[in-house]
A and B are shown apart, each in its own frame.
Chain A
Amino acid sequence: MRKTLLLTLALLLSFGAFAQNITLSLHNVTVQEAVTQLQSQGNYTIVINSGEVDLKKRVSVSAKNATLNDVLTQIFAGQNLDFTINGNSVSVSKRIPSSASPQTAKNSFKGVVIDQNGDPLIGASLIEKASGKYAITDNNGSFSFEALTYPATILVSYLGFEDKEVTVNGRESQPFRITLSSDTNLLEEIVVVGYGTQKRVNLTGAVSVIDGKELNARPVTNTAMAIQGADPSLVLTTSSGSIDGSQYSVNVRGKVSLNSGSPLVLVDGVEGSLSQVNPNDIESVSVLKDASACAIYGAKASAGVILITTKSGMDGDAKINYNGRFSISTNTTSTDFITTGYDYVNLTNAFYQTAKGSPAWTYSDEQIQMLMDRRYDVTENPERPWVIPDETGTYTYVYLGNFDWYSYLFNKERPETEHNITLRGGTSKAKYYASARYLHRNGLFAGNAQDTYDGVSLRGKVDAKLRPWLTYSSNISLERSDYEWGGFWEMDGSTGYTSQGIMWNITQNVGPNYVPYNPDGTIAMVPGFMTGATSPLMSGRGGVFMDGRNHNMNLSNYWTWTNRFTINISDGLKFIADYTYRRHDIRRNFRSLPSANSYDNVNKRMYEGNGLTGGLFSNGSVYDFTREYRYMRDASTINAYFAYDKTSGHNHVSATLGGNFDDYYATTLMIQQKGSMSDVLSYINMANGEIEKATQTNTSYRTLGYFGRVNYDWDGKYLLEVSGRADGSSRFPAGHRWAFFPSASAGWRISEESFWSALKPVISSAKLRASYGTLGNQQVDNYYYWEELKTGLLSGYTFDGLNNAAYAYMDAPVSDNLTWETVISKNIGIDLGFFRNRLNLNADFFTRDTKNMLTAGMSLPTVYGEAAPKENAADLRTKGFELSISWKDNVTLGGKPLYYGLTATLGDFVTVITRFNNPDKLLSDNYVGKCLGDIWGYRTDGLFATDEEAAQWEAAYDSFSTVNKGIQSQAAGYQHLRAGDIIYRDLNGDNKINTGANTLDNPGDREVIGNSRPRFNYAFKGDFSWQGLDLSIFFQGVGKMDWMPNYNCSYFWGPYAYQRPTFIPSDFADKCWTEGADNSGAIYPRQRGLVSNKTNLITSDYYLQSAAYLRLKNLTVGYTLPLKTRIIEKARVYFSGENLFYLSPLTKATKYIDPEVATTSISDDITYPYSKTFSLGVDITF
């Protein structure tokens, strides 16, 4: 009897790391041969612990895509053996008699979890996978299970360490030692950077990474919205809550130039836009912030780069995921407006009385009494109808309504649904990913003007290994949206389709005293009763709103197709080449018709417009026409580059070298033709009237760039990166076309030094980074260096007496000395990890100088013969920081593990103009030293308490041609300052309140009273998961932001600016200073009409609002059902609330304006509202 033979076969092969499914066909071989063959299939370590194993036994194996267990069973068939599979290690041992199992099962299983150094790990969690039994290590690292059913598979996890799965059979010596190795993943985490990837630990530039999981968890349909607050360097401003989410602008670390300059957005390496990516497809987002990180993208990247990487296929069986939800959106702001005709008319009358000495309405006292009689009729009382015949004979009808126009025109609750399906899988040869999304939204507009949005997103990706050295990848995506609306055709310029036109038109002259329809069914088009005006309702758009015949659409398709070849030339050297075709089509179609059956109450007649009969109303914007607009963009991108990566000893070198070519062409065509033979068809051929407009635009550009980057690190301690790019752009003249932009960065992983070892238990990792780099800004007009010649007709010259002479002229000369705008950025950063990297802290500080911005140049001697062209004549400097701190850990709650993560971020920057051609420092323009966003205004000392005080002040200070000109132009009897008017402060002591010379040196009585830019962008995030329950909460906010409401912000100014503003907040009157009342809480001064309108608006700290806010951006609660069937792998249901509430000092003045949209220009008036959204969804993986 031989002693126990210990045979160890340890062949470590590192070939084909992914082969999990085994295909093996052996005929009549020895067991030993079979084991060797099996090991050569993958990097298995097979340890045979028994001398009783017959290795010479002859066996046959026939396995096709079989599991390891299957194959082992075949190899060791007929032998009484057990296999313990632990990852890639297999141990083979003699089978214990089955009778033993039940006994041991009753015994407890004790063990200890230690790290590589043998130190116990406290708080590690262990789960027995089959039963879900759970244990947590104590202060000694010990754990115990009461009873296990063997063999039992236990999953051990501990933050900062790799998860480990061990299978035990109960016969192991106890306490069973489980060694965890520290989580190299954290160190190995790969970050997508320009033209490649890098290990996070080796990063030397300022790069932030947003994990796609964070985005996917929220039911946001738009990537731009999803990344808001995800990184403190990203400043996203939304100008309205437009239905497609297109009304935003985003910048990285602030405005890079006084000219345009927005971040370069790359989707899988191809230029795209944030609104054109389905957030469900996103694997990760990298934000490249400093010149060092951006340099490889050259001149397009001066404003930062946002790299979006979408999910790809992966080895393994197909995973099918369905994610669907239903949501309801409502306004984030109040819609509680005055809806009683009596109160509305009274309030506007009182204001207008002060302005013009007459009421805003021409109701007689008797009619006012009738309005009062109806004051409490929420619905029309048949005894007191809202429209009655006018017995005085002035009009046909008298309108005495309590009509809620907001609810009539708009949907306060807006449903939406989203369905998202993804397929993901692959083999070692080919991987695939496919996704489809359908999104449907109902918009703001109600009734016949209802707007709907339908979005379809498709993406398909394939990676095929054609040869051992050649991989082909294809990535196709389509983003399609279809927005359709009835009602008025007008869109807001070219920025999107927010129906800003109609939003603006309803801000005046539509009071609750009016109703939309007359008793005879006609539209109350010109209802009358307005002092000094006979305006049609909503400038005539009102009828169109109700008329169901108008139809408008905006259809958009983004196509992108990338084909990429990756060639493995040799160990460490790859060549990658790709070609991408991008196309974007837009089709807009408007069918506008006059509004039907409209009645003019002033002239007592039905409208008969546009050659049509039947009471059709038409005016300058409302008439019979068809418009068709087409946009087409064609773009191609070629990338070709080498990537090299080599480690030799302590030296690690990686390098990238290649070229990039972009070609872009866009064209628009628009035709508008009057009249149509059909009300239904929106088709130019049906139109039979005058062609009113036919316009075309074409534009194109090309860029070519050569880039290179070398990274070197020594032993992972000393990191160095040098990169650069030479860029040529068709946007620059031949002599200035090419420019080279270099950058360098370095890092020191100080925690890897030997002297750090004492600190390691506390500060597990520490890295210092610094970078310096230069970038050019090519974000100028495509043809800006061209002296464009234009043509026209001379109104005063004729040669032939038949036509005005046509002529050509130079639009504007171009400076002959143009150079690139240059951005020089310096960044220092520190990355610290504490307590086994559970606490992470990242900080970046930067300075960014933008040089030679193209602005108005110094005036030239007039012999030049033209206005001085723009010159590279301005500089600005931005300084700022970003801070992010996060904590991840798990604790026990109710005996179960609770995983949680907390993150807080903060970022800020200030931009100051350091050079500008404004020698007199006129405040009407930029000047050296100006902080972007500064608001100049008057200082105030509250309101006059008494008329006497006001009179004294009025006599002492000269203010009537300036700050109080609005009061001076009031009606007789209201032209003097009274109690409740604003006290302006005489800052320069000259007894005059004025703007001085409007220069920095002599600003009169004004000073910088605030700044409109968002300062101190911050966010808090918390993620918790426990027993299948998950909760995430996300706050986002701005620490400081000032807002001076523009004159046409009718929600804010109400009757102070407008004679008859349509929507007056119901609490408006309470906020006005009132004679004899307690005015301690008064927001507005004495009631005076039109003192804040276009000509009278005075910027002062009295009206300056703080638009700082804290918003609960998202709250999601999910539950993963504890079910596992043959079909369903995972099923989760969730509830999510987006934009649930906000806290802001602004709410003191108004709850009707969202602080996030307040400061953007489009918000000056009623906009498509910002929404809060409640969603209910399921997420099922098959």
Chain B
Amino acid sequence: MKKTIIPFAILTAALTMSSCSDFLTKTPETSLSPDTYFSTGAELDLWANKLYNDLIPAATDLAELNADDNCSGSTLTAVQRGTRNPTSKSWSADTWKPLRNINYMLENNKCKDASVKDRYDGVCYFFRALFYYEKVRLYGDIPWYDHVIGSSDKEDLNKARDPRGYVMLMVLRDLDKAYELLPAKWPSDPVYHVSKDAALALKSRVALFEGTFRKYHEGSEYVPQDQQTFTLDDGTSFTVSSTWFLEQAADAAGKIVGTRSLYTDNTMKLAPKATNASYREYFILENAESNETIFSRRYNVDLLVRHGIQFDYKNHKRSASARFVNHYLQKDGSPIQKRAGWETMSYYDAFQNRDPRMAQTLHGPGFVMADTDNSGAHITEALSWERTFNGYRIIKYISTTEHETATTSTTDYPVIRYAEVLLNYAEAKAELGTLTAEDLAKTVNVIRARVGVPGLDAVPADTDELMEQYYPHAKGSQKAAILEVRRERTVELFCEGFRQWDMFRWGEGNLLTPKATKGFQGIYISAAEVGTDIDLDKNGTPDLYLYNDNKGTTSVPSSNQIQLGSTYTLSEGDHGYLTCWAAEEYTWTEGRDYLWPIPADQRTATGYALSQNPGWDDGLEQ
């Protein structure tokens, strides 16, 4: 009996003991699992790639954001119309998914090579900051999660919103970590992965946003209290305020200012009079250059990775506003209102003696495409109302003719570039009231120098009346400088995804819509020109024919024969700015529209843990 018990005892012991360990764990062999994944650089890289894909905006998202400076000819945004509603902006699981993925990698990253592990942690911190920055822009207060939410974790799922100040503090801390952990340059490429400079640049962008938002909304329902103190889990305590954020912005940007240079090549020779057109050229490079570019999104036609900006611009007749055009200085650095009759200038005149960026941004007289014909001459293209609805056709990002289909726009898109950092720095300093002539020399003047416009020798003391009219809420000890920096920012960063958000943070939402101008205004047309063939660019060929009720005879192409009255009007009736979208209703509700509403279904789903943003009535009582 003893003999027989022994083997059984051994067997039982073997089974029992083994059951204590991983004996019953079976790992999938044909799919990866978090237990085994996240151990090598290659694995981390694949996961990180998805973050880029999900969180880096597509080129068209940035280049095509309607605002006061540019607009689509086919649709207005709900923001412009004032027709947002409590479900109009997505708070879907898909929009929260990237955060889950980021936190998932941070929780599971177990790469033994510390330098590799750090690098990808840095990527995660960068993207978590970007994620929350964009969420705060939309919603203000937002629940902050630095870990993966469990499906049964009611506390997390029904978490109340954290104050925006707290979230932005955490965002800046994430960016500090990202700056610390990310490489200065990735071994594989200089611009297509986020780097230390990208973290700094984003930090300056985020901090400037929050600093100015707090400054210009202080005391309103959006920022009832500017100065707030938060004690973190580790016991450290931070007091944030608009000043603190602006200092953070200046500090982050200041680390980059002076370390890079702007793109100045002129290989394409796109300017009509052999002047330097490196500004325009920079935005149609097939492969981003790496001095000005801090981070870029890559496109490639062979891989079917393309953005279609050129196609969309054409399809939507994307055009700039007269308001925007008036931001352009004259070539000598003086404002346009110094020119006599500046308000009734013709299309042709408007382009004369202006900041060269104007003709590199808008279709001006003598515009050429980037491609050349057999003789080596650039392809010319007449201004066509198939590509603009008000005469100020946008040609930033417009490259060769063959890029103009839905599937062929493949120029790289700079998501973060040095010029923005320079402007962030100058703006933060100006808002703080600490801007110096040296600061201007390092920033605004560098930008102007590229296009040959004289810089500012001293911090401006006198406010520009037009800028003051355009930005009535600007304030501060260096108000004149603030306005000049805003002008510079407006023209330099046109159609790069900033304008709407800039107007929001500056508290100028009311001017975001074309409400005041009763429609979106373009080129100026005199009364005499109506009913005649107009040679806009003065090249001898008529370009435009405007008529009221009866179309007379005209030699312009049918696409450029425009009937006035419904879609198109002139701002003064028989003359004035060629105006579109005049019949639209525009509303701007100051105490409501700077933030998006929290979707009502999510407020009920969380048991009203989520409070509603000011001014929004979603029909729920709580």
The answer to whether A865 and B149 touch across the interface, beta carbons within 8 angstroms, is yes
Contacts A805-B49, A864-B149 given; does A810 touch B26 at CB 8 Å: no
Within 8 A of A (CB), among B179-213: 188-189, 192-193
Contacts of A567 in B (CB 8 A): 4
* Pairwise interchain contact B29-A805, C-beta atoms closer than 8 A: no
Q: A815-B151, A815-B152 are in contact. Are A796 and B53 (CB under 8 A)?
A: yes
Question: Which residue of chain A has its CB nearest to the CB of B46?
Answer: A808
Is the C-beta of A408 less than 8 angstroms from some C-beta in chain B? no
**A807, A815, A871: which contacts B49 (Cβ < 8 A)?**
A807
Please give, as numbers and ranges, the residues of chain B lying within 8 Å of A864 by CB-CB distance: 93, 96, 100, 149, 151, 157
CA–CA, A859 and B297, complex, Å:
35
Alpha-carbon distance A865/B135, docked complex (angstroms): 14
- For B25, the closest partner residue in chain A by CB is A730
Does B528 sit at the interface, judged by CB under 8 A?
no
Given contacts A796-B305, A801-B300, A866-B93, contact A791 B11 (CB under 8 A): no
Inside 8 A of A783's CB, which chain B residues have their CB?
A: 26, 28, 31, 33
Most chain B Cβ neighbours within 10 Å, of A702, A782, A787, A815: A787
On whether the beta carbons of A730 and B300 are closer than 8 Å, the reply is no
Q: Which of B12, B31, B151 contacts A869 (CB 8 A)?
A: B151
Q: Kindly provide the distance from the CB of B17 to the nearest chain A CB, expressed in whole angstroms.
A: 11
> Which B residues touch A859, using CB under 8 A?
605
- Closest residue to A729 on the B side, CB-wise? B24
Name the B residues within 8 Å of A737 (CB-CB). Answer: 24
Give Cα A782 to B31, complex, Å.
12
Q: Give chain B nearest CB distance to A569 CB in angstroms.
A: 5
Residues of A within 8 Å of B, CB-based: how many? 69
User: With contacts A567-B4, A810-B104, A861-B157 known, is A786 near B28, CB below 8 A?
Assistant: yes
In the complex, B34 has a CB within 8 A of chain A: yes
Q: Which of A698, A782, A801, A866 contacts B97 (CB 8 A)?
A: A866
B29, B46, B153, B300: the one contacting A807 at CB < 8 Å is: B46
Q: Is the CB of B24 within 8 A of A704?
A: yes
A803 at the interface (CB under 8 A from B): yes
Q: Which residue of B lies closest to A728 (CB)?
A: B24
> Using an 8 Å CB-CB cutoff, how does the interface string of B118-151 with A read, 1 for contact, 0 for none?
0000000000000000000000000101000111
Q: Using a CB-CB cutoff of 8 Å, which residues 743-769 of chain A contact chain B?
A: none
Report yes or no: A794 in contact with B29, Cβ–Cβ below 8 A.
no
Instruction: Give the docked Cα–Cα distance between A470 and B91 (Å).
Output: 71
Residues of A within 8 A of B8 (CB): 575, 577, 640, 642
Interface: B92 (CB within 8 A): yes
> In the complex, A965 Cα to B11 Cα: how many Å?
70
Q: A788-B33, A796-B53, A796-B58 are in contact. Are A816 and B23 (CB under 8 A)?
A: no
Given contacts A700-B26, A702-B24, A807-B46, are A866 and B188 in contact (CB under 8 A)?
A: no
Tell me if B43 is interfacial: C-beta within 8 Å of chain A.
Answer: yes
Q: How far is the CB of A972 from chain B (nearest CB, A)?
A: 39
Q: Tell which of B11, B37, B99, B303 touches A789, judged by Cβ atoms closer than 8 Å.
A: B37
When distances are taken between beta carbons in the complex, the residues of chain A under 8 Å from B153 are 816
B152 touches A816 (CB 8 A): yes
Q: Given the complex, which residues of A lie within 8 Å of B93, measured CB to CB?
A: 860, 862, 864-867
A787 touches B34 (CB 8 A): yes
- B602 proximal to A (CB < 8 A): yes
A835 at interface by CB-CB < 8 Å? no
Q: Say whether, besides A659-B11, A816-B150, A816-B152, A701 and B26 are in contact (CB < 8 Å).
A: yes
* A790-B32 contact given A702-B24, A797-B52, CB 8 Å threshold: yes
CB neighbours (8 Å) of A1026 from chain B are none
Beyond A860-B151, A861-B602, whether A794 also contacts B53 by CB under 8 A is yes
Contact bitstring A568-600, B, C-beta under 8 A = 1, else 0 = 011000010100000000000000000000000
Nearest CB of chain B from residue A642's CB, rounded to whole Å: 8
The 8 A CB mask of B299-320 against A (1 = contact, 0 = none) is: 1100111000000000000000
A791:B151 contact, CB within 8 angstroms: no
From B104, B151, B303, contact of A817 by CB (8 A): B151
Q: Which of B33, B53, B192 is within 8 Å of A786, CB to CB?
A: B33
**A862 engages B96 (CB within 8 Å):** yes
Q: Is the beta-carbon distance between B29 and A808 smaller than 8 angstroms?
A: no
Chain B contacts for A795, CB-based, 8 A: 304-305
Find out whether the CB atom of A801 lies under 8 angstroms from the CB atom of B287. Answer: yes
Q: Flag A45-77 by CB within 8 Å of B: 1 or 0 each.
A: 000000000000000000000000000000000
Nearest Cβ on chain B to A466's Cβ, whole angstroms: 13
Measured in the bound complex, the distance between the Cα atoms of B59 and A796 in whole Å is 11
| Residues of B contacting A729 in the complex (Cβ-Cβ under 8 angstroms) | 24
Q: Is B101 interfacial (CB 8 A cutoff)?
A: yes
Complex contact A798–B298 (CB within 8 A): yes
Q: A365 contacts the other chain (Cβ, under 8 Å)?
A: no
* A704 vs B32: C-alpha distance when bound (angstroms): 25
Q: Which of B50, B52, B99 has the most CB of A within 10 A?
A: B50
Once the chains are docked, how many angstroms separate the CA of A642 from the CA of B1? 12
| Chain B positions within 8 Å of A700 at CB level | 26, 29
**B299: which A residues are within 8 A, CB to CB?**
798
Whether A661 lies near B15 (C-beta < 8 A) is yes
Task: Convert A808-836 into 0s and 1s, putting 1 for each residue whose CB lies closer than 8 angstroms to a CB of B.
Answer: 11110111110000000000000000000
Cβ-defined contact, A730 with B31, below 8 A: no
Q: A806 vs B602: C-alpha distance in the bound complex, in angstroms?
A: 34
| B141-182 contacts to A (CB < 8 Å) | 143, 145, 149-153, 156-159
Known interface pairs A661-B15, A796-B53; A865-B303 also in contact (CB < 8 Å)? no
Does A1125 reach chain B (CB closer than 8 Å)?
Answer: no
Contact A794/B49 with A799-B193, A871-B151 known, Cβ cut-off 8 Å: yes
Q: Which of chain A's residues have a CB closer than 8 A to the CB of B156?
A: 863
- CB pair A808 B37 closer than 8 Å: yes
B23 proximity list for chain A (CB < 8 A): 702, 704
A804 at the interface (CB under 8 A from B): yes
**B33: A residues at CB distance < 8 A:** 783, 786-789
Q: Complex: how many Å from CA A868 to CA B192?
A: 34
CA distance A570 to B1 in the complex (A): 7
B7 on the A face (CB < 8 A): yes
B471 within 8 A of A: no
Contacts of B101 in A (CB 8 A): 809-810, 865
In the complex, whether A184 has a CB less than 8 A from a CB of chain B is no
Query: In the complex, which residues of chain A have a beta carbon less than 8 angstroms from the beta carbon of B15?
Result: 659, 661, 704
With A797-B49, A816-B150, A866-B100 as given contacts, are A804 and B31 in contact (CB-CB < 8 Å)?
Answer: no
**Given the complex, which residues of A lie within 8 Å of B606, measured CB to CB?**
861
The answer, among B50, B152, B192, for a CB contact under 8 Å with A799, is B192
Tell me, in angstroms, the Cα distance from A862 to B145 when the chains sit together.
Answer: 13
How far does the Cβ of A1109 sit from chain B's closest Cβ, in whole Å?
A: 44
Which residues of B sit under 8 angstroms from A817, Cβ to Cβ?
150-152
CB contacts (< 8 Å) of A730 on chain B: these are 24-26
With CB as the reference atom, state the residue of chain A lying closest to B33. Answer: A786
Asked if B30 is at the interface (CB within 8 A of a chain A CB), the reply is yes
Chain A residues with CB below 8 A from B46, complex form: 791, 806-808
Cβ 8 A contact of A697, one of B30, B37, B96, B99: B30
Encode A674-690 as 1/0 by CB contact (under 8 A) with B.
00000000000000000
Known: A782-B26, A786-B31, A788-B33. 19 other contacts (CB 8 A): A569-B4, A697-B30, A700-B29, A730-B24, A734-B25, A789-B31, A798-B298, A798-B303, A801-B287, A805-B49, A806-B49, A810-B34, A813-B151, A815-B152, A859-B605, A863-B145, A863-B602, A865-B99, A865-B100
Q: List 20 A-B contacts (CB under 8 A).
A: A638-B11, A700-B26, A730-B25, A789-B31, A789-B33, A794-B53, A797-B53, A799-B49, A799-B52, A807-B47, A810-B34, A813-B151, A815-B151, A860-B151, A862-B92, A862-B602, A863-B96, A863-B145, A863-B602, A865-B101
Instruction: Give me the interface of B with A, judged by CB distance under 8 Å.
Output: 1, 4-5, 7-8, 11-12, 15, 19, 23-35, 37, 43, 46-47, 49-50, 52-53, 58, 91-93, 95-101, 104, 143, 145, 149-153, 156-159, 188-189, 192-193, 287, 297-300, 303-305, 602, 605-606
7 tightest A-B CB contacts, nearest first: A865-B100, A817-B152, A789-B32, A808-B46, A730-B26, A865-B96, A816-B150
